[in-house]
Amino acid sequence: MSLSIGQVLNNRYRIVHLLGQGGFGAVYRAWDTNLNRAVAVKENLEISEMGARQFTREASLLANLHHPGLPRVTDYFFIRGQGQYLVMDFIEGDDLHKLLEKQGVPLSEAQVLGWMSQICDALTYLHSQHPPIIHRDIKPANIKITPHGRAVLVDFGIAKVFDPRLSTTLGARALTPGYSPPEQYGRGGKTDARADIYALGATLYALLTYHQPVESLERSLGAALPSPRSLNPAISARTEAALLKAMALRCEERFQSAAEFKAALQGSAVLASAVPSQAAAPLTAQPLPAAPLRFPWAWLALALVVVCLVGGALAAMGVVAARLRLPTATQLSRPSAVPTLAADGGMPAGEQRINPADGARLVYVPAGQFTMGLTAAQAQTLLRSCSQCPINTFDNSQPAHTVRLDAFWMDLTEVTNAQYARCVAAGACSPPPSSSSPTRSDYYGNPAYDDFPVVHMTWEAAATYCRWAGGRLPTEAEWEYAARGTDGRLFPWGDQPPDVTLANTALAIGDLTAVGAYPQGASPFGLLDMAGNAWEWVADWYEPDYYTYSPEVNPQGPTASQQGWRCGRGGSYYWGEGFASVAYHDGFDPNKANAGVGFRCVIPANP
């Protein structure tokens, strides 16, 4: 069962966004509402009674693992008829797939070998358990590098306990073309710890060559694996020899343990200087031209051969179907510089891209339906939080009504001073009429405040910037959906009123803060600062009764405003908690530039 953004699982874990998905389940970023911290929730779709018993047994083993190279498993549960779930630490940082994409060329051998040495330690720990635990899905996307420079092996889970009496590990098979050894396809061999050795060697191959490894089944039928040094001459001969031995097709010819593989890597002359420090070292590119990644598309046709070779047993295990449903994240590709190429439904919620025009980080918000506005009960709840507010303060935000929207990309945070300065330097924008904020005389133009939201923005100044950045101001409905998700919450993080850990409202410091300073206040799609800090202009004209006749699909707001006002959203550092509600609907004079009014932009996913 696919989990929805904002859904609370097991009365505790609120789903924030999808991290990855494959044939056997998915991994989500979630928020532990009991302990107020980010977690990763891995969903396994094997729901048979036998699978449930196996899940409980194996999850108990995983919950007792403690190693710095592995996330801790903190909870597990089975929901009958739905799925099985592991809850793990959420590891901050980029995975090696993303780092490789950002680099655009092979990674530094010294740096990579240091990380691989740490992963070998984690595998040695897993493989030495009783019974041994086999990861079985090692690849660049499943190795994260923390802000402190440590490599952590993530996405380990159920169906990986090795039973020597059987021909493979218990449970469902995980397959990633290029990284899975031939025995993992059910060709009669036992899948044991040496499968992880192959996958780690293939990962090293990809990181040092910027080429995806040739699929192991293609190699079994005669396809050649290009030597690493032919693709990157800067690779040392000893490192090449070690990774090729790890990727031997016959498991007997590989290193027989992760400790052996580590020892071979440590024999490389470059490793002596590659021990990671507590601070992450910067990535250093090899002095090579940016070679395009080579994709072994032949594995698609080869799948038909595999079916013939393996027959009904392989089909019964769903291997072929799983291979054809592999997520695109398992392939290496250059990052897209144009966020609009994502069609509706073509990206997971919360996916991020960089807007090349202004450097803003964009978040993908998929098409969907939600309840916009406040119910009468919600309005009364907000009114109670505002002792001096008139009784009709939240009437304009009613009635609650259903809205359906197309997909779009939205800026992760409010537009910053530094981003706006780029538009000014390009001659497309005018400088703000004032450079101050309530407690700072040199707010705009001072590098110390580059990452703070630009303010003193008229509506037209905000709209001009968004056009320059390739987008537009969000509609009011888009803004509320991105801030609220689908569960009707009052604030981006839920129904809890804001406090000093969630948002910069009148309860906080009395001035603007850097964007993204309140990660615990993220919206269900992962957007930041949707409550407090600066008010945000949206595209719509303002009319108090618009919700009584607003269309259901992609509402654009009224065609005009009797008062000549435009809508603003999100509250600010000087307004109380009720006005920070995602559903609060109000209007302002678009020609006034205020020290508390900024904006963010959107780019439609289907222009």
DSSP class per residue in 172-183: -----TTTS-GG
Q: 130-167, pLDDT tens digit by residue?
A: 888 888 889 999 999 988 888 999 875 444 554 444 43
What confidence score (pLDDT) does residue 507 get?
61
Question: Quick check: 568 pLDDT over 90?
Answer: yes
Helix/strand/coil for 568: strand
Question: Quick check: 104 pLDDT over 50?
Answer: yes
Query: Region 326-344: what's the mean pLDDT?
Result: 33
The residue ranking higher by pLDDT, 326 or 260, is 260
What confidence score (pLDDT) does residue 102 get?
83
What confidence score (pLDDT) does residue 78 get?
82
Percent of the chain exceeding pLDDT 70 equals 80
Amino acid 588 reads F
Question: Quick check: 460 pLDDT over 80?
Answer: yes
Residues 6+ apart with CB under 8 A from 475: 538, 539, 540, 554, 555, 556, 557
Torsion angle of C-alpha atoms 416, 419, 424, 430, degrees rounded to 10 = -30
Phi first, then psi, for residue 201 (nearest 5°) are -65, -40
- In the chain, list all ranges with CATH 3.90.1580.10: 343-604
- In the chain, list all ranges with CATH 3.30.200.20: 8-89
Matching CATH number, 8-89, of 3.30.200.20, 3.40.50.300, 3.30.1330.50, 3.10.20.30: 3.30.200.20
Instruction: Quote the CA–CA distance of 94 and 117 in Å, as a whole number.
Output: 18
Q: Which class in CATH covers the domain with range 94-330?
A: mainly alpha
Question: Quick check: 191 pLDDT over 90?
Answer: no
343-604 belongs to which homologous superfamily? paralog of FGE (formylglycine-generating enzyme) (3.90.1580.10)
Q: Which of 580, 603, 384, 417 is nearest to 484 (CA)?
A: 580
Q: Which two tokens stand for residue 321?
A: 């179907």
Would the pTM count as exceeding 0.85? no
> What does 93-127 look like in DSSP terms, one character per residue?
SEEHHHHHHHH-SPPPHHHHHHHHHHHHHHHHHHH
